[in-house]
């Protein structure tokens, strides 16, 4: 626990400390306003003139002074205590404040030497802001010390909670804007404290910054009775500390005291838990509600209209500065109110007292290795995935729930990596057949646990919460700070967090261009309970949309795998767990499914991304087949192999090649994606001219998109999920979506250039099978006989 | 206000009423269990035998008895008061309970005569449940009385709040499951009360059903200290009423009293507001927290393990019933505990007392026209959209913010339709240039309003909340109950609510197959602040992903429009506001943009979906051009026209055709989408064999997907957004994504089969322009000179 004397000192800064805090804050505010307005005269060493003003004024002032105040005070706390901390700016449009803070700490110039610690550097800092070729107006990947893009709102707390899991020494200071606080994902993320273990996790300090307004109007929380707001957050389980005002230096004293209070409570909770002095009840973690005026220290009024404290200060409080002498004068007064002459030395570098406030080296929040997690990432200690293989004597001989094998692999990853691996899943770990992890770790839960509960405890590290947003966001925070994990979810409901997948992908894509951002563990997403296997659910549960989302991410990030069986899944998962800075999407169902490949075959198949399944086809590889039957995805793979089997038996002499695709991006041209297969290999698989009937797990358009530019791409006839769904058997699903074995056979016959005798008979036979199926469905309505037993050879029985 | 005597009677049911309530409830529970288990012997008129049990047991029992209890009590309230009410089941997997309730009310048999009110009907009811060709295990479109699919969790309150806006006589009873309550969208939706006007809106009664567990473990809210839970919801602004237990008839008495209490408070709030007796402070609406055991009335223990009250009762509490005599006996005891012999008459129809409890006709919740909103939809009274036209003398002469015109149109729609039109927008109505609506309606807001606020009041009907989930969901609820509206949002952040777009699309797709579901107003989504025009924001704000999402919905639902200018936007919007049961996606930026077409031209262009812009090209239409330059989307249209202009000037004799596409789905084949253009028309536009350089607003793959199957689809070379973004000018964005005028010119030259002399010079010139641009960007870094002024002819200036 932290010594009482130190806490008392923290809570009661002396005059010198307050002076240093205020100097920092003034400098931070000055640099913020400068970024928004100035393109010359950066230190105001001459009178402000219209030509010093940027031609277009962009940026967000309103939230910035609050962000800077917090930054300064937390920096002081770090300097005094040595606490490791990172800063997450929920109101991320206060980008200039965070950029300025990193600049004052020196980190910015270390990373971007052009933005040097002198007058030229200040000018560069100003001119790059919100400019073409420069930096965005919000906190972004380019901002040192950030793991949280300030674009799409709502994820600051999920990132914060993820970052401190298994990170006992880290404090994540998470500022929540009152605009952002209205979003669903943010409101759903306060409950992170119900899952945070004070012994083996670090702490999150949420600071709800109620400045009253968003872009054009008031916020809900700012306009509620403060007692109601307090009640809300006490209801979420927090110890609510409130601070507010706009008097100076009063606010410095009060905020220092409040921050010290919160910090003391955190350390007390942690000390108790770590010293065995914890009764196991959920800690009541502190949070701070800070009320300061929006645009604080900016112009009170402009043109007779109140600005500070209103939504009018959200972006640029003073407009038309170049052409309006009065506005120009207001801006100059505003800028000079921070006394820039006291903030920068002759060279233009921040004065010594500012440097003194900043912590040293990696303790600076802008330089924290936790916010550049690749720097501290340790590889997973992975068991040999081949040890989990299913023994496959010959293809399609046995069925297994493939994801069970992945569960066993992850169980042993948990054991070997007790400090750096977690599975995140909305309440479906067992349902997804991943339950083996519970042999070695419970679910983590800090609310009451009863005797009837199973595999749930304070120490659990499997994260189940019925919120895709929390699961996804926690994993993002966890990986961005250098640890590994997986998010496993229902395929259709992966769209709930699709925007997070997009935004995290964008983060990784942008980070790939920044050499100082070390690569982090990949975001691994497992989709189960797929569109084709929602036997008792309905249409709402059938949607392969996330594939389409990841497909359009850039090749340096997007990876999509559709392993057809357990051994392929193991090989793919092993690869994903070793990889860095990708979005790895793995799609495979959880139900018992046919097993195709031995482990050795699976390894080779996955390494190549796609391959010919000789045993399934009838071509001899010495010449082109009559048709290529291709497939990607488990259920459609079974239909494809069954179609090939029908053709083999019923249409001898017709040469069928079966190609299975595991790595979806291998279909693209190498120039479009690093996994894109060479044109030679593509031709070896698909020929240059033979028609391809492609059965795809997802929307057919994806394949058309992927093979565009390949030789005669028009010859690809794709079957896939075409939004025909209901409560029915997987086989009936393939019929409804015209991707059944019979449809594939007919497609083959319809498209092949050479047909042996008997083809039209076979087509007629297929149509009869489909008629029989239709009759069968009506006759056996509600019997569900096919759900468990429909298999490869079942066409024969009905034939 | 409701009479005190009636309220007192409601709160104190006499013995006969309790008996009727309990009889209903037993029948509802019996039919629920029957749906999960029975395929024969539906009324237990013989001893239960293994062959009466379904071969596969599916369904969700745990939440069902609570849902039924509430249903019975609300039905009694309706019968006594005549209140119009609908029932939204958040824990929608309790489908069998709601299906059973609709059956007991007679509605089910009216809609589905096969499921008759007799023993055969009961059997059919049981057998169809969770069966192939039957109905899903959750509340779905097929469930009478539902506007809320019980699949993806989190939207019950947004649907409820949307349904009562401008619906003063409606009460939406919204049951929130404690699993669902963990989702972000749900947590973010309690704040609906901060936007609900007690005078002109109806009321939502949330009932939080804390039964303790979800699929495999406890829920957060159920395991928190009840005082904390109360604090949470008081913090959200509710008057919290709590009720719980499992004693009978005690629970009937207590629940009746609690419901009457809540109802009385609602009516009191409404009466005050409607009688001018309201001080304007936000009403403290009641909510109920109901604590009953999960799986209440089911088997307490199975195989010595506790089931009722635990997660084990979530789905099927008794498994292996066919093969396990003990389980079979437990099931029989369980079923007989409801005394089926008292519930059904000789024919198998519900006994009279059950029918007596149900309200009459349309007052039955399962028959409410509000839950089949098409029945009561009135067309919008639309002004003539041509009156808002921009006067276009010739193409590209003027710039305008096109969305301003839409704002003016919507302003007058507000005026003409004060009871059935709303705009929903996350805080960006003004930013999106739609602010004209504020001339006639404020933003609606029930929290404190201050003198500095603008266009915000109690009576406002423009809905701004910084939550895409709330905006989208409110609009869904609003349209499903028969009213009209639009959701306007930032293009990139439309992905936040993409899953709602998917799910609502699925609802509409499924409803299209159900004749009894009348068509409802379309879901109109306007995307502005597009990928190409995020001048000061960064990569995180650049994402055209929602197009891809809607693209894969079925043709009976999906509509995607990319109007290139204001007049086209007006024509498209007018069409969308008149349409029914579509998802209409409209994509257009808000910044000043060139105007191309007169109103008459726009009308014809939009009606055809795509057309040749003769004036922009150089082909004479009598023969095929050398190249087709096609485009869809505002910014890329400007680049395309500029490219054609360059070619016209610099490569005389090269015949260029410019095709603009407004209606994206017109590119598909008619068999794939009803808007798909005929092959004749397609060939007239794109020829059969000339190469097409297509500049697209979104991801290029979308076009490849859409034109698949068209003659020689490989000849389409698509440029679009390829995830190259940053803070920069729109022109630089087109350069980065290789879709600039210069890229298009080079593409044209590279792909045309016939090239006049000078083509290679022009290519070299284009490359020089791009080099100059690169140098220009570096030189003018941070000046942003291009943002405002880059236009059609600017290539000449730099040329």
Q: Which residue from A179, A450, A549 is facing B466, i.e. has the nearest CB? A: A179
Mean pLDDT value of segment B723-727: 90
pLDDT at residue A798, rounded to an integer:
38
User: Within 10 Å of residue B445's Cβ, how many Cβ atoms?
Assistant: 24
Nearest CA in chain B to A703: B705
A132 to B194: CB separation less than 8 angstroms, yes or no: no
Q: Which band of pLDDT confidence, cut at 50, 70 and 90, is reported for residue B642?
A: very high
B216 to A429: CB separation less than 8 angstroms, yes or no: yes
Q: How far is CA A569 from CA A485, A526, A596, A664, in A?
A: 16, 10, 12, 14
User: Which chain B residues are within 8 Å of A778, Cβ to Cβ?
Assistant: 133
What is the pairing mode between strands A399-401 and A592-594?
A: antiparallel
Q: Which band of pLDDT confidence, cut at 50, 70 and 90, is reported for residue B619?
A: confident
Rounded Cα distance between B654 and B649, Å, is: 10
User: Which chain A residues are within 8 Å of B186, Cβ to Cβ?
Assistant: 184, 188
Interface membership of A182 toward B (CB under 8 Å)? yes
pLDDT at residue A797, rounded to an integer:
39
Q: What is the 3-state secondary structure (H, E, C) of A422-441?
A: EEEECCCCCCCCCHHHHHCC
Q: Which residue from A134, A218, A447 is facing B727, i.e. has the nearest CB? A: A134
ipTM above 0.85, yes or no: yes
Tally the residues of chain A: 799
B310 by DSSP, 3-state: which?
coil
Question: Which residue is associated with the tokens 């007390």?
Answer: A268
User: Which chain B residues are within 8 Å of A469, Cβ to Cβ?
Assistant: 183-184
Burial group, residue A579, by CB count within 10 angstroms (0-12, 13-18, 19+): middle
B553 to A503: CB separation less than 8 angstroms, yes or no: no
Residue B622 has pLDDT above 90, yes or no: no
Residue A785 has pLDDT above 80, yes or no: no
What is the per-residue pLDDT across A266-301, written as a single tens digit (0 to 9) for each?
999 999 999 999 999 999 999 999 999 999 999 999
A466 to B219: CB separation less than 8 angstroms, yes or no: yes
B132 to A545: CB separation less than 8 angstroms, yes or no: no
Retrieve residue A404's tokens: 């069970």
User: Which chain B residues are within 8 Å of A783, Cβ to Cβ?
Assistant: 39, 55, 131
Number of A/B CB contacts below 8 angstroms equals: 440
User: Which chain B residues are within 8 Å of A787, Cβ to Cβ?
Assistant: 56, 132
Interface membership of A157 toward B (CB under 8 Å)? no
Q: Which band of pLDDT confidence, cut at 50, 70 and 90, is reported for residue A240?
A: very high
Please check whether residue B686 is in contact with residue B660, taking contact to mean a CB–CB distance below 8 angstroms. no
Retrieve residue A487's tokens: 């998010």
Q: How far is CA A776 from CA A779, A780, A798, B523, in A?
A: 5, 6, 10, 38
Q: Which band of pLDDT confidence, cut at 50, 70 and 90, is reported for residue A793?
A: low
A131 to B782: CB separation less than 8 angstroms, yes or no: yes
Percent of chain A with pLDDT over 70: 97
Rounded Cα distance between A435 and A423, Å, is: 11
Residue A480 has pLDDT above 70, yes or no: yes
What is the per-residue pLDDT across A675-706, written as a single tens digit (0 to 9) for each?
999 999 999 999 999 999 999 999 999 999 99
Rounded Cα distance between B265 and B10, Å, is: 13
What is the per-residue pLDDT across A114-160, written as a single tens digit (0 to 9) for each?
999 999 999 999 999 988 778 999 999 999 999 999 889 999 999 99
Interface membership of B236 toward A (CB under 8 Å)? yes
Rounded Cα distance between B507 and A696, Å, is: 24
Which ranges in chain A are annotated with CATH 3.40.50.920?
A: 612-798
pLDDT at residue B623, rounded to an integer:
85
Nearest CA in chain B to A718: B708
Smallest CA–CA distance, residue A552 to chain B, in Å, is 7
A427 to B214: CB separation less than 8 angstroms, yes or no: yes
Q: Which residue from B232, B453, B545 is facing A218, i.e. has the nearest CB? A: B453
Rounded Cα distance between A496 and A673, Å, is: 27
What's the pTM? 0.97
Q: Report which of B337, B250, B353 is spatially closest to residue B32, judged by C-alpha positions.
A: B337
pLDDT at residue B486, rounded to an integer:
98
pLDDT at residue A150, rounded to an integer:
87
What is the per-residue pLDDT across B58-95, written as a single tens digit (0 to 9) for each?
899 999 999 999 999 999 999 999 999 999 999 988 99
Q: Report which of A383, A374, A199 is spatially closest to residue A279, judged by C-alpha positions.
A: A199
Smallest CA–CA distance, residue B582 to chain A, in Å, is 15
CATH classification (class only), B385-593:
alpha beta
Rounded Cα distance between B511 and B490, Å, is: 29
Q: Which residue from A191, A223, A496 is facing B448, i.e. has the nearest CB? A: A223
pLDDT at residue B74, rounded to an integer:
98
In CATH, the architecture of B610-798 is: 3-Layer(aba) Sandwich (3.40)
The CATH number of the domain covering residues in A4-362: 3.40.50.970
Interface membership of A153 toward B (CB under 8 Å)? yes
Residue B784 has pLDDT above 80, yes or no: no
B781 to A149: CB separation less than 8 angstroms, yes or no: no
Interface membership of B337 toward A (CB under 8 Å)? no
Q: Looking at chain A from residue 435 to 494, which residues have their Cβ under 8 Å from any Cβ of chain B?
A: 443, 445, 447-450, 452-456, 464-470, 492-493
Interface membership of B259 toward A (CB under 8 Å)? no
* Residue B727 CB partners (closer than 8 Å, separation 6+): A130, A131, A132, A133, A134, A135, A136, A137, B534, B535, B536, B537, B538
Question: Can you count the helices (H) and strands (E) in chain A?
Answer: 28, 22
Q: What is the 3-state secondary structure (H, E, C) of A205-232?
A: EEEEEECCECCCCECHHHHCCHHHHHHH
Which ranges in chain B are annotated with CATH 3.40.50.970?
A: 4-376, 385-593
Q: Which band of pLDDT confidence, cut at 50, 70 and 90, is reported for residue A795?
A: very low
Q: Report which of A48, A148, A35 is spatially closest to residue A100, judged by C-alpha positions.
A: A35
Which ranges in chain B are annotated with CATH 3.40.50.920?
A: 610-798
Nearest CA in chain B to A720: B552
A218 to B788: CB separation less than 8 angstroms, yes or no: no
State the DSSP string of B366-387.
Answer: GG-GGGGGGGG--------GGG
In CATH, the architecture of B4-376 is: 3-Layer(aba) Sandwich (3.40)
Mutant choice from A35, A58, A177, A183 vs B, greatest count of B C-beta within 10 A: A183
Q: Report which of B153, B467, B698, B509 is spatially closest to residue A492, judged by C-alpha positions.
A: B153
Check residues B622 and B343 and name the one with the higher pLDDT.
Answer: B343
Residue B788 has pLDDT above 60, yes or no: no
Burial group, residue B13, by CB count within 10 angstroms (0-12, 13-18, 19+): buried
What is the per-residue pLDDT across A39-73, written as a single tens digit (0 to 9) for each?
999 999 999 999 999 988 989 999 999 999 999 99
pLDDT at residue B2, rounded to an integer:
80
* Residue A649 CB partners (closer than 8 Å, separation 6+): none
Please check whether residue B194 is in contact with residue B292, taking contact to mean a CB–CB distance below 8 angstroms. no
User: Which chain A residues are within 8 Å of B790, Cβ to Cβ?
Assistant: none
Residue A783 has pLDDT above 50, yes or no: no
Q: Report which of B601, B528, B590 is spatially closest to residue B567, judged by C-alpha positions.
A: B601
Q: Which residue from A230, A466, A708 is facing B182, i.e. has the nearest CB? A: A466
A570 by DSSP, 3-state: which?
helix
Q: Looking at chain B from residue 502 to 531, which residues have their Cβ under 8 Å from any Cβ of chain A?
A: 502-503, 506-507, 509-510
Residue B787 has pLDDT above 50, yes or no: no
Interface membership of B306 toward A (CB under 8 Å)? yes
Q: Report which of B71, B725, B587, B91 is spatially closest to residue B368, judged by C-alpha positions.
A: B71
B443 phi, psi to nearest 5 deg: -70, 145
A187 to B182: CB separation less than 8 angstroms, yes or no: no
Tally the residues of chain B: 799
Smallest CA–CA distance, residue A80 to chain B, in Å, is 35
Which ranges in chain A are annotated with CATH 3.40.50.970?
A: 4-362, 385-593
User: What does the radius of gyration of chain B's CA atoms come to, in whole angstroms?
Assistant: 30
Rounded Cα distance between A778 and A732, Å, is: 12
Question: Which residue is associated with the tokens 């190609």?
Answer: A659
A182 to B499: CB separation less than 8 angstroms, yes or no: no
The CATH number of the domain covering residues in A612-798: 3.40.50.920
pLDDT at residue A569, rounded to an integer:
98
Please check whether residue A338 is in contact with residue A8, taking contact to mean a CB–CB distance below 8 angstroms. no
Please check whether residue A623 is in contact with residue A657, taking contact to mean a CB–CB distance below 8 angstroms. no
Rounded Cα distance between B133 and B63, Å, is: 24
């Amino acid at each position: 626990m932290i010594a009482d004397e130190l806490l008392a000192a923290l809570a009661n800064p002396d005059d010198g400390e307050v002076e240093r805090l205020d100097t920092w804050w003034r400098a931070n505010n000055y640099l913020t306003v400068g970024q928004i307005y100035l393109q010359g005269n950066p230190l105001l060493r001459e009178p402000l003139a219209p030509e010093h003003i940027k031609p277009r004024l962009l940026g967000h002032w309103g939230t910035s002074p609050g962000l800077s105040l917090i930054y300064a005070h937390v920096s002081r706390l770090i300097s005094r205590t040595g606490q490791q901390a990172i800063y997450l700016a929920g109101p991320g449009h206060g980008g200039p404040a965070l950029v300025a803070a990193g600049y004052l700490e020196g980190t910015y110039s270390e990373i971007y030497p052009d933005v040097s610690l002198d007058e030229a550097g200040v000018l560069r800092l100003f001119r790059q802001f919100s400019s073409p070729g420069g930096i965005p107006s919000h906190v972004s990947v380019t901002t040192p010390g950030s793991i949280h893009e300030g674009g799409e709102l709502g994820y600051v707390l999920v990132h914060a909670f993820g970052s401190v899991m298994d990170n006992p020494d880290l404090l994540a200071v998470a500022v929540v804007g009152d605009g952002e606080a209205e979003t669903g994902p943010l409101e759903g993320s306060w409950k992170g404290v119900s899952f945070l273990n004070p012994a083996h996790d670090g702490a999150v300090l949420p600071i709800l910054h109620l400045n009253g307004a968003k872009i054009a109007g008031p916020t809900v929380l700012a306009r509620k009775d403060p007692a109601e707001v307090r009640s809300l957050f006490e209801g979420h389980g927090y110890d609510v500390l409130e601070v507010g005002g706009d008097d100076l230096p009063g606010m410095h004293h009060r905020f220092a005291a409040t921050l010290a209070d919160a910090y003391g409570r955190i350390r007390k909770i942690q000390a108790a838990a770590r010293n065995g002095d914890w009764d196991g009840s959920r800690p009541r973690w502190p949070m701070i509600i800070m009320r300061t005026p929006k645009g604080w220290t900016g112009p009170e009024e402009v043109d007779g209209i109140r600005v500070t404290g209103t939504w009018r200060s959200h972006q640029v409080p003073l407009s038309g500065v170049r052409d309006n002498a009065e506005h120009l004068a207001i801006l100059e007064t505003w800028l000079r109110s921070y006394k820039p002459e006291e903030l920068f030395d002759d060279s233009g570098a921040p004065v010594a007292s500012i440097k003194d406030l900043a912590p040293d080296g990696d303790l600076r929040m802008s330089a924290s290795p936790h916010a550049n997690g690749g720097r501290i990432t340790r590889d997973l200690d992975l068991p040999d995935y081949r040890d989990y293989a299913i023994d496959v004597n010959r293809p399609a001989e046995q069925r297994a729930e493939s994801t069970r094998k992945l569960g066993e692999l992850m169980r042993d990853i948990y054991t070997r990596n007790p400090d750096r691996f977690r599975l995140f899943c909305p309440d479906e770990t067992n349902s997804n057949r991943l339950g083996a992890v519970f042999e070695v770790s419970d679910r983590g839960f800090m609310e009451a646990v009863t005797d009837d509960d199973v595999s749930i405890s304070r120490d659990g590290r499997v994260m189940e919460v019925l919120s895709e947003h929390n699961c996804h966001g926690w994993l993002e925070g966890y990986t961005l700070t250098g640890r590994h994990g997986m998010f496993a979810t229902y395929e259709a409901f992966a769209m709930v967090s699709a925007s997070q997948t997009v935004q995290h992908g964008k983060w990784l894509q942008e980070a790939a261009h920044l050499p100082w951002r070390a690569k982090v563990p990949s975001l691994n997403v497992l989709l189960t309970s797929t569109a084709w296997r929602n036997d008792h659910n309905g249409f709402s549960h059938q949607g392969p949309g996330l594939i389409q989302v990841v497909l359009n991410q850039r090749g340096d990030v997007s990876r999509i795998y559709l392993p057809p069986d357990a051994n392929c899944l193991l090989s793919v998962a092993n690869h994903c767990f070793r990889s860095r800075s990708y979005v790895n999407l793995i799609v495979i169902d959880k139900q018992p499914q046919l097993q195709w490949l031995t482990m050795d075959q699976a390894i080779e198949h996955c390494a190549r991304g796609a391959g010919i399944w000789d045993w399934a086809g009838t071509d001899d590889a010495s010449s082109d087949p009559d048709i290529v039957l291709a497939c990607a995805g488990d259920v459609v793979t079974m239909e494809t192999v069954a179609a090939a089997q029908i053709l083999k038996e019923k249409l001898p002499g017709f040469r069928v090649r079966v190609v299975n695709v595991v790595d979806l991006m291998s279909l693209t041209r190498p120039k479009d994606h690093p996994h894109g297969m060479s044109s030679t290999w593509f031709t070896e698989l698909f020929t240059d001219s033979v028609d391809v009937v492609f059965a795809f797990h997802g929307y057919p358009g994806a394949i058309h998109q992927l093979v565009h530019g390949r030789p005669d791409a028009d010859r690809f006839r794709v079957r896939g999920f075409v939004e025909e769904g209901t409560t029915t058997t997987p086989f009936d699903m393939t019929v409804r979506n015209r991707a059944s074995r019979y449809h594939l056979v007919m497609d083959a016959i319809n498209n092949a250039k050479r047909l042996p005798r008997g083809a039209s008979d076979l087509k007629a036979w297929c149509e009869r099978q489909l008629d029989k199926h239709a009759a069968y469905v009506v006759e056996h309505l509600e019997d569900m006989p096919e759900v468990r037993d429909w298999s490869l050879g079942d066409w024969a029985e009905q034939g």
